[in-house]
Amino acid sequence: MKILFIDEELPYPLQTGKKIRTYNLIKQLAGSFDVRYLAFGDGAVRQDQAIRHLTDVGVSCYLVNVRLQRKSGLLFYWRLFANLFSEYPYIVSSHYKKEFLETMRRIIDDNRPDIVVAEWTPYGRYFEGFDSARKVVVAHNIEADIWWRYHEHETNPLKKLYIKRQAVKTERFERALFASVDGIIAVSEEDKAKIEKTCGQRPVGLVENGVDTGYFSPSSDPVEPGAIVFTGSMDWRPNQDAVRYFVTEIFPRLKKEVKEAHFYVVGRAPSLSLRSLATDEIVVTGTVPDVRPYLRKAALVVAPLRIRGGSRIKILEAMAMRKPVISTTVGAEGLRVTPGENILIGDSSDEFARNCLRALTDMPYSSRLADNGYDLVNRHYRWETIAEKMAQFLRTI
């Protein structure tokens, strides 16, 4: 079977949860299928390295060397304003380029893929007027839900009004897309159920996230007393909100009880406002070549997310390294976790802080929690197992 993936960027290097997921799935699929990948590029050396790496694992790559719109500067704000008069939400219109469409059509004419997979919902727009192959979209999130959660937390009246407009347009776009393709892949049971309510008779497959249990594995390195770790791309708004929430509402309460408590924020591209949170007890690392050294030293890993969306891979990686994890319900949504057995859940700042305190002070309980999380990952979340679910769904389509 021939499969063409279309996406914003090549899934390498592995800097984000989305890239980690996509890379590991296509690497497994390339063992059985003819896998090709089309993405935007700018001719950078790093992309040449990505192409070489993906080629080595059996994936043929194509780049459209058109720079996507920057998310800063006066021109960016002008585009945001102009988008008010577009039928498409900004996340869709800003990724639609005729050069990409022309390249996609040329690849399809030359290679005749059986399935074209939009590896992010906004890329489903390229399916408009297209019927020469089966069309599948991967819904890493229900994007409209993320916008509605932004709307819920925004306090600036003008921003709140703009975000509401984006949420409405995103919801309309997703509904139309899900009802028009040949199949949808959801990442969680919750998202699968919501999509099935809106897409009529279209098949919806569940392909959860996974973890490389060979790469992320327990270590004998000593734990740093009081070390709390958060990992994730810091240029993504839900992660930014989670870190601010932990630093301002949870960490001070915890610090009163555990004097040696300190917090590592590990992830790429933190903004100046996030960097300004750094103190002697709060370390904002920025981009690191490898998150494992921080996870090895962690006494506790936290995922205090309040905005839906994301890959949950940060939780699986921590569990694979046999670390106790505390999350919100939103942060662990879609994972087969059992609160109190393999994870702790705190949906208020008080509850989250109490759970952190217990994990840091009750070592036997914390160890049992970590052991159970490790067992869960090895039973259900190995990439080989997850990729076979995706392969079977694509065969059915």
Q: Say whether pLDDT at 357 is over 90.
A: yes
Which residue type, as a one-letter code, is found at position 138?
V
Environment class of 71 (CB within 10 Å of its CB; exposed 0-12, middle 13-18, buried 19+): exposed
What is the rounded distance in angstroms from the CA atom of residue 273 to the CA atom of residue 236? 14
- Tokens in use for 145? 């839900």
- Residue labelled with tokens 């975000």: 163
Assigned fold of 2-210+383-396:
Rossmann fold (3.40.50)
The reported pLDDT for the residue numbered 43 is 61
> What are 71-127's pLDDT values in tens digits?
778 888 899 999 999 999 999 999 999 999 999 999 999 999 999 999 999 999 999
pLDDT in tens, 259-272: 999 999 999 999 99
- Extract the tokens encoding 385: 């197992």
Separation between Cα atoms, residue 69 and residue 83, nearest integer Å: 13
Residues 175-233 pLDDT 10s: 999 999 999 999 989 899 999 998 878 999 999 999 999 999 999 999 999 999 999 99
Strand order in the sheet with 325-327: 282-286, 262-266, 227-231, 300-303, 325-327, 344-345
Distance CA 213, CA 379 (A): 11
pLDDT over 60 (residue 379): yes
Tokens of 115: 């399935």
- Stretch 318-343: mean pLDDT: 96
What is the pLDDT, as a whole number, of residue 7? 97
Q: What is the pLDDT of residues 38-73, one digit of tens each?
A: 999 876 557 888 999 999 999 999 999 988 877 778
Tell me the mean pLDDT in the region 350-377: 97
229 and 302 Cβ atoms separated by less than 8 Å: yes
Domain 227-380 class, CATH top level: alpha beta
Closest CA to 230 of 336, 305, 332: 305
Q: What is the pLDDT of residues 133-169, one digit of tens each?
A: 999 999 999 999 989 988 998 999 999 999 999 999 9
The mean pLDDT value of the chain amounts to 94
Residue 17 has pLDDT above 90, yes or no: no
**Per-residue model confidence (pLDDT) at position 103:** 97
Residue ranges per structural domain of the chain: 2-210+383-396, 227-380
The yes-or-no answer to whether 2-210+383-396 and 227-380 have a common fold is yes
pLDDT, residue 200, reads 74
